[in-house]
Amino acid sequence: MLPLVMMPSFSGMLLACLLLTGLVHGEAAPAAVASVRRSCPEGSKAFGSYCYGLFSIAQTWDAAEVDCQSQTSGHLVSLMNGAEASFVASLVAENGVNRNPIWIGLYDPNKNRRWKWTGNALFTYQAWATSAPSNSNPGYCATLTPETGFKNWKDQPCTSRNFYICKFKS
């Protein structure tokens, strides 16, 4: 009798049989299960399970966030890692925006330098530009800065008018 650790489980045997059946019939074993994704609306692009849209209408930060919520049921973009930040920077470049800051969903609601993302995404990834956020002339909303190819952030007064990027589920 085999020790318990050596005995194959029923589910393990079933999986092996299913994979072998496919190989016997000349089918390749599946590499990965494809995720279900709806297409993004025209003018927006997909990355991961989200769609991203650049709006080239100058708005205040608050107006841009309201627009993202009403048009896309999303929020101003939150950047969770370097890969997403690079994707967003390339989206801006593709659209020919090269001189204007772009609103993102990062803000300081209590004006105490404790930054938050709209939509309550966790604030774990940071990409502040050199000497940002500013202590001498603080703004309480963040933008992607053209000086760094839209890969870093600066704080700006929330009443400034900038283009913006919305992020919403695909």
pLDDT tens for residues 132-152? 898 777 799 999 999 999 999
The answer to whether position 30 is within a domain reads no
62 is a domain residue: yes
Q: Which CATH number belongs to the domain containing residue 130 in this structure?
A: 3.10.100.10
Spell out, as residue ranges, where the chain has pLDDT lower than 50.
Answer: 1-37
- How far is it, in rounded angstroms, from Cα 10 to Cα 147? 59
State residue 61's pLDDT score: 98
Residue 22 is assigned to a structural domain of this protein: no
Q: Where does 26-74 show beta strands of DSSP type E? A: 44-47, 50-59
**What pTM does this model have?**
0.75
Backbone CA torsion sign across 61, 62, 67, 73: positive
Domain that holds residue 60: 45-169
Q: Count CB atoms within 10 A of the CB of residue 24.
A: 8
> Within a domain: residue 78?
yes
Q: What's the chain's average pLDDT? A: 81
The verdict on residue 29 lying in a domain is no
120: in domain? yes
Give the count of domains, the chain. Answer: 1
Is the distance from CB of 166 to CB of 68 less than 8 angstroms? yes
* 89 Cβ neighbours under 8 A, 6+ residues apart: 144, 149, 150, 151
